[in-house]
DNA sequence: ATTTAATGTGTCGTAAGTACATATTTACTA
DNA sequence: TAGTAAATATGTACTTACGACACATTAAAT
């Protein structure tokens, strides 16, 4: 039996009961601003966690695929549509939710703070990922795992562009990589590596809002995958692992 | 509402009902024998899938962590203890289970067929992964994803040794890699790469059961992680992604 | 003794990773 | 308008990893 479950709380949380496991999704919504990686959080609505922030989540509905749930949550809470989402991990320890037995599947999302978001809900706030020490539930753990996954994915797949406006300079791109990976990169080597990936389209345009020599502007050439649910095995990838 | 859900079926499957999502785990149990990657399957017990095989799974109990469930399933069905398990993905499409709404979290497991398994259940059978075309439920999809994950993990982490007996030769190890990755590898380059990883302990022993020049025997030096639930981010890994 | 079938290295060309320096362009300001 | 500051843009040399490839060695079987 869940630890801190009392009858009063069951009534308060009518969607939870003693006899079933509830299924939820939580969204780790990453954004990038002012050279910092951010995550969108909401004030926790549970007494146990007053003052703490939490991820955006909801119970999975009986009539929706689990993959649809995080899209719905993002749409409902932020108005965002057509975002990049990837499943990270499913968390289901006994004590993770004080109101009952809830298993949650975490998704992370990459969005462009500046151009995409209209915050409809004033309890939502962007937080610097690096400054976060504690969150409600096990959400700090979920955040850590999501960041870990983001770091793994970001050099292998052309997904990082979801965090940037359509047009960006190589400096902006490098700053973003540095914010995500938490390391400084050599500019010349970084550019060689990016050039080699063939992800960028040279727009033949220049920055015009910088107080120094403007850089060239690029846009992402590659189509990012928006629905990661059903992937194909890539034989070539497997091969490159060894020989 | 689930597609093919009828009252009769609900009665037959008393653990499922109209009003809640059920949570299960499925185990993709990999083994290795005769130069082939195998997976342990059980005959499906559902009418809809008579004649088809399925993964070993069970509903998650109300009083166990989700991570504990696959360990329990393995213990109950095969007697296996202390195995390597890793969570792969959570599948939750509406129509995936004919008897109701069931969301399942897939784990893959690596075990040594020869020395560990006492099949207690005579409906269990090892199947060649390469020969599997169709499984019950969405289990073929789950198997594909698990194999994909195994292929990704197997060069990065010293987990492959869970599929081998304690002592093994480099040839056996290479054969196993080839079975998993589905490619042939150059022996010299393979050995260089493995040597470079510093995963092996030279036992100063020789094979003695082979009809040709015997090779040296090795054992795994590295401790495999048995409980992958809570990983730490590795700063050095992140750095190596860029430069 | 010869054959067979594997083990156990080494080399060389190529590609990628890493450390590092100089010239160039624009905005700013004095 | 000339000089300065700050960033862009690019190249080279070193080292390490990858990939294709060949030959000598060892033990078992005949």
The distance of B102 to chain A (nearest Cα, Å) reads 10
Residues B26 and B126 in one domain: yes
* Three-class secondary structure assignment of chain A: CCCCCCHHHHHHCCCCCCCCCEEEEEEEEEEEECCEEEEEEEECCCHHHCCCEECEEEECCCCCCCCHHHHHHHHHHHCCCCCEEEEEEEECCHHHCCCCCEEEEEEEEECCHHHHCCCCCCCEEEEEHHHCCCCCCCHHHHHHHHHHHHHHHHCCCCCHHHHCCCCEEHHHHHHHHHHHHCCCCCHHHHHHHHHHHCCEEEEEEECCCCCCCCCEEEEECCCCCCCCCCCCCCHHHHHHHHC
Rounded average pLDDT over A25-43: 97
The distance of A122 to chain B (nearest Cα, Å) reads 31
- C-alpha separations of A47 from A1, A9, A99 in Å: 20, 10, 10
Domain of B212: which CATH number? 1.10.10.10
User: How many interface pairs between A and B have CB atoms less than 8 angstroms apart?
Assistant: 131
Please report the pLDDT score of residue B83 as a whole number: 93
Residues A130 and A83 in one domain: yes
**pLDDT at residue B228 greater than cutoff 90:** no
Residues A62 and A179 in one domain: no
Residues B29 and B134 in one domain: yes
Taking the C-alpha atoms of residue A80 and residue A74, their distance in angstroms, rounded to an integer, is 6
Choose the final residue of a domain: A152, A170, A194.
Answer: A152
Q: Is the CB of B212 under 7 A from strand D?
A: yes
Residues A166 and A133 in one domain: no
Residues A111 and A173 in one domain: no
**Distance from first CA to last CA of chain A, Å, rounded?**
51
Please report the pLDDT score of residue A59 as a whole number: 96
> Can you give the length of chain A in residues?
243
Does the residue A121 lie in any domain? yes
Contact check, Cβ <8 Å, B151/A89: no
Contact check, Cβ <8 Å, A94/B151: no
Residue whose Cα is closest to the C1' of D8:
A215
Residue whose Cα is closest to the C1' of C5:
B212
Residues B217 and B139 in one domain: no
pTM reported for the whole predicted model: 0.89
- Between residues A120 and A97, the one the model is more confident about: A97
Choose the final residue of a domain: A152, A169, A196.
Answer: A152
Residues B64 and B172 in one domain: no
Separation in Å: D21 C1' and B170 CA: 20
Residues B58 and B129 in one domain: yes
Number of separate domains in chain B = 2
- Is residue A1 very low, low, confident or very high in pLDDT (cuts 50, 70, 90)? very low
Residue A222: give the domain boundaries.
161-240
Contact check, Cβ <8 Å, B92/A193: no
Residues B25 and B125 in one domain: yes
- C-alpha separations of B228 from A185, A186, B85, B237 in Å: 30, 33, 7, 17
Residues contacting B135, CB < 8 A, separation 6+:
B41, B52, B53, B54, B55, B143
Choose the final residue of a domain: B118, B152, B186.
Answer: B152
ipTM score: 0.89
Q: Is the CB of A183 under 7 A from strand C?
A: no
């Amino acid at each position: 039996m869940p630890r801190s479950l009392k009858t009063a709380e069951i009534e308060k949380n009518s969607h939870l009961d003693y006899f079933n496991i509830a299924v939820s999704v939580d969204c780790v919504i990453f954004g990038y601003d002012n050279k910092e990686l951010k995550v969108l959080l909401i004030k926790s609505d549970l007494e146990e966690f007053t003052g703490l922030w939490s991820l955006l989540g909801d119970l999975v509905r009986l009539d929706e695929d689990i993959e649809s749930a995080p899209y719905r949550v993002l749409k409902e809470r932020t108005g965002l549509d057509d975002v990049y989402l990837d499943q990270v991990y499913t968390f289901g320890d006994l004590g993770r939710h004080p109101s009952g037995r809830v298993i949650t599947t975490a998704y992370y999302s990459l969005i462009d703070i500046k151009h995409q978001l209209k915050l409809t809900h004033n309890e939502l706030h962007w937080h610097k990922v690096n400054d976060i020490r504690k969150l409600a539930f096990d959400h700090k753990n979920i955040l850590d795992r999501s960041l870990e996954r983001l770091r793994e994915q970001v050099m292998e797949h052309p997904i990082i562009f979801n965090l940037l406006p359509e047009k960006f300079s190589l400096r902006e791109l490098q700053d973003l990589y540095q914010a995500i990976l938490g390391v400084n990169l050599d500019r010349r080597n970084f550019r060689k590596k990016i050039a080699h990936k063939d992800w960028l389209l040279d727009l033949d345009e220049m920055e015009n809002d910088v107080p120094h020599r403007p850089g060239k502007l690029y846009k992402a050439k590659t189509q990012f995958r928006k629905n990661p649910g059903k992937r194909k095995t890539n034989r070539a990838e497997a091969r490159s692992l060894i020989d």
